[in-house]
């Protein structure tokens, strides 16, 4: 029986480093605009120019007056959202800003297992690399083009998987624990060892490994398969680079009624994909693919040790690797939208976005799910911040159970995360603009929302140079959390320049509201209207 060292910690760290340091769902429904984030995602009838790309292309055809800009250019509009249903405001603050001061004891890890099991996490990000739109003569509508990086992650793991994450070798699957002294003791968390004394923190920290039959006695207990260990868990993540070209035009123009339609096409470069889901004690989804630029190599590290190694491309800095990674997949997505304006003030809109598929055609892999988990080395994460944990994770099983292998069909084609949006809003003399959005996921493709998303919000213009945005939103990947967004936009002289900053949830910074906490930041400082 081999002991396998897949370096899962480093894989998870790489995914998080890409997300955090690339600094790019918000949530998948928000786009990258700080204005949209400040309204909590209300955008179907609000978004204009290139900011409507991927939301409602019909809005490209709207031009309210001859004073509206003919050309809009923007770059580096960035948004980032981290949501953890299991963390309160103080836990979130400590994990992000004071991880070194919040190292878990054994008792803390047990509490973390209880708190994190079967709860939602999402770390999602967008960055607009470049966007522009051109308003053509009125009867010809408008056209927009944008290049955007979109990273979406969603995690909900079962109690079994959470045990491994935080307790490591002391998880409830293993009947025996080997200490650094060479002594083998019964694991009190194992169901058959109810009479064993509880572990002390000193004993926990001295665990070398855990497993079945460590005393060389044949164990009558059948180890769990990986499908059983992960049963009820879902981990999905992807990273696309999108090239979006959209067009919107006005079809009807009367005093009381205006009708706009639009469509868009986007080419997606696939850079990362992870989709692991276990149901009924089986891995029903088991796919992964990573750009070779990140240097994630599967196979033998040295000798008989099998796992995952990180060997990024040589002579390239991290910014270079992130700016120009090698794609491993490609696909086409289509967007369609419509907007109606009634009596000049009331707007109704709808759109369907991301219709299409993407094919991952380079080094798609999957875990070997046929074996069983028989040994474990390592004591799990030491705090809620996965970026600062220490200690290796080692999995042991029969037939090299945690080894990855090439996907049987070589290539993998999956649906894009399709969403249906509905929105309405009312504008009062350009002073107030209030509305609501409902966003419905149309499939469970990686990167889509876990549930319907609802948002109510609006803008207020107290002066010509300032615009305030706020609202309320819930659902989506946020579980039962209620978010209170807030944003502020500066509008330069004659409206030629615009900059802003927003958060998806101001309440996390000042008080606990609802279940969980949301850390969110969106900003943009280069937006020209000509």
Antiparallel, parallel or unpaired: β 176-179 and 142-156: unpaired
**Taking CA 438 as the corner, what is the angle to CA 436 and CA 439, rounded to the nearest 5 degrees?**
140
Band the pLDDT of 516: cuts 50, 70, 90.
confident
The band of 518, judged by pLDDT with boundaries at 50, 70 and 90, is confident
φ, ψ for residue 119 (rounded to 5)? -120, 160
Instruction: Please state, in angstroms and rounded to a whole number, the distance separating the CA atoms of residues 67 and 181.
Output: 79
| Cα(178)–Cα(195) distance, integer angstroms | 18
C-alpha closest to that of 44 among 452, 483, 438, 465: 438
Tell whether 418 is covered by a domain: yes
DSSP 8-class letter at 506:
S
| Tokens encoding 264 | 């868009």
Residue 111 falls within a domain, yes or no?
yes
Place of tokens 């045990």: 163
pTM of the full predicted structure? 0.83
181 located within any domain: no
pLDDT of residue 444: 84
Rounded CA-CA distance 294/125 in Å is: 18
| pLDDT of the residue at 316 | 64
When divided into structural domains, the chain yields a total of 1
pLDDT value for 3: 38
pLDDT for res 214 = 63
CA 398 – CA 368 distance, rounded (Å): 11
Answer whether residue 156 is part of any domain.
Answer: yes
User: Percent of the chain having pLDDT more than 90?
Assistant: 34
Is the pLDDT confidence value at 478 over 60? Answer: yes
Q: Is the pLDDT of residue 25 over 70?
A: no
Q: Is residue 216 domain-resident?
A: no
Angle, in degrees to the nearest 10, between helices 106-116 and 159-167: 150
Tokens for 275, please give them: 């989709």
Average pLDDT over the chain reads 81
What pLDDT does 42 receive?
A: 94
Task: Quote the DSSP letter at residue 225.
Answer: B
- Please return the burial class of 218, using the count of CB atoms within 10 Å of its CB with bins 0-12, 13-18 and 19+: exposed
**CB contact burial 10-19 (16+ within 10 A = b; e otherwise):** bbbbbbbebb
Pair of tokens at residue 439 = 């966003």
Q: pLDDT tens-digit profile of 271-326?
A: 988 888 999 988 888 888 888 877 766 554 433 334 445 555 656 666 666 778 88
Most confident region among 52-61, 66-75, 206-215 by mean pLDDT = 52-61
State the residue range of the domain holding 125: 2-173+223-529
User: Given pLDDT bands bounded at 50, 70 and 90, which one contains residue 73?
Assistant: very high
Given a cut of 80, is residue 376 above it in pLDDT? no
pLDDT tens readout for residues 339-359? 999 998 999 999 999 999 999
- How much is the pLDDT for 19? 36
- Specify if 179 maps to a domain: no
| pLDDT tens column, 130-173 | 999 999 987 899 999 999 998 888 888 888 888 888 888 888 87
**What are the structure tokens assigned to 130, written together?**
């470049």
Given pLDDT bands bounded at 50, 70 and 90, which one contains residue 216?
low
Please report, for the domain that includes residue 107, its CATH number: 2.40.160
How confident is the model over 421-434, as a mean pLDDT?
93
Length reported for the chain:
530
Answer yes or no: is pLDDT of 22 > 90.
Answer: no
pLDDT band for position 91 (cuts 50, 70, 90): confident
Query: Buried (b) or exposed (e) across 78-117, using 16+ Cβ within 10 A?
Result: bbbbbbbbbbebebbbbbeeebeebebebebbbebbebbb
For 221-273, write each residue's pLDDT tens digit: 677 777 888 899 988 888 899 999 999 999 999 989 999 999 999 999 999 88
Bridge-partner residues for 426, per DSSP? Answer: 346, 434
Taking the C-alpha atoms of residue 261 and residue 48, their distance in angstroms, rounded to an integer, is: 13
- Segment 14-34 mean pLDDT: 43
Residue 174's alpha-carbon distances to 186, 187, 396, in angstroms, are: 9, 7, 12
Task: Please report whether residue 198 resides in a domain.
Answer: no
Q: Does 208 fall in a domain? A: no
The DSSP string of 327-385 is P-EEEEEEEEEEEEEETTTEEEEEEEEEEEEEEE-S--EEE--SSBEEEEES---SSS-
């Amino acid at each position: 029986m081999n002991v396998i060292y897949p370096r899962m910690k480093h894989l998870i760290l790489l995914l998080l480093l890409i997300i955090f340091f690339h600094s790019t769902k918000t949530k998948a429904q928000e786009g990258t605009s700080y204005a949209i984030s400040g309204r909590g995602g209300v955008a179907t009838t609000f978004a204009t120019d290139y900011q409507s790309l991927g939301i409602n292309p019909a809005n490209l055809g709207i031009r309210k007056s001859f004073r509206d800009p003919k050309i809009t250019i923007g770059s580096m509009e960035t948004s980032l959202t981290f949501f953890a249903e299991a963390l309160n405001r103080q836990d979130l603050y400590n994990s992000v800003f004071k991880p070194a001061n919040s190292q878990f004891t054994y008792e803390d890890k047990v509490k973390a297992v209880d708190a994190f099991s079967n709860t939602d996490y999402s770390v999602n990000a967008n960055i607009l690399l470049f966007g522009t739109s051109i308003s053509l003569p009125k009867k010809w509508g408008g056209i927009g083009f944008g290049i955007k990086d979109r990273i979406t992650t969603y995690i909900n793991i079962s109690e079994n998987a959470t045990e491994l994450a935080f307790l490591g070798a002391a998880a409830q699957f293993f009947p025996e624990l080997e200490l650094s002294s060479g002594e083998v003791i019964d694991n009190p968390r194992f169901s058959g060892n109810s009479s064993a004394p509880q572990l002390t923190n000193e004993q926990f920290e001295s665990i070398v490994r855990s497993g079945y039959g460590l005393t060389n006695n044949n164990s009558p207990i059948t180890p769990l398969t990986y499908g059983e260990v992960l049963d009820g868990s879902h981990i999905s993540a992807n990273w696309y680079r999108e090239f979006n070209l959209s067009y919107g035009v006005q079809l009807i123009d009367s005093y009381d009624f205006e009708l706009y339609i639009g469509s868009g096409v986007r080419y997606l470069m696939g850079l990362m994909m992870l989709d692991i889901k276990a149901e009924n004690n089986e891995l029903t989804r088991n796919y992964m693919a990573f750009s070779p630029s990140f240097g994630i190599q599967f196979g033998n590290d040295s000798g008989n040790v099998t796992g995952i190694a990180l060997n990024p491309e040589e002579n390239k800095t991290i910014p270079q690797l992130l700016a120009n990674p090698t794609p491993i997949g490609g696909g086409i997505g289509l967007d369609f939208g419509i907007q109606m304006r009634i009596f000049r003030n009331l707007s109704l809109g709808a759109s369907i976005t991301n219709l299409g598929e993407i094919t991952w055609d380079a080094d798609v892999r999957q875990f070997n799910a046929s074996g069983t988990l028989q040994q474990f080395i390592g004591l799990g994460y030491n705090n809620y911040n996965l970026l600062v944990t220490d200690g290796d994770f080692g999995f042991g099983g029969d037939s090299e159970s945690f080894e990855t292998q090439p996907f049987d069909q070589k290539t993998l084609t999956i649906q894009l995360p399709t969403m249906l949006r509905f929105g309405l809003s009312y504008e009062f003399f350009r002073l107030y603009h209030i509305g609501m959005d409902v966003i419905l996921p149309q499939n469970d493709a990686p990167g889509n929302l876990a549930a319907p998303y609802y948002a109510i919000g609006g803008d207020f213009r107290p002066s010509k140079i300032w615009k305030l945005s706020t609202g309320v939103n819930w659902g989506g990947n946020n579980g039962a959390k209620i978010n209170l967004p807030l944003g502020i936009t500066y509008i330069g002289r004659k409206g030629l320049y615009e900059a802003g900053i927003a958060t998806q949830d101001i309440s996390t910074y000042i008080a606990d509201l609802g279940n969980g906490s949301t850390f969110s930041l969106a900003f943009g400082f280069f937006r020209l209207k000509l």
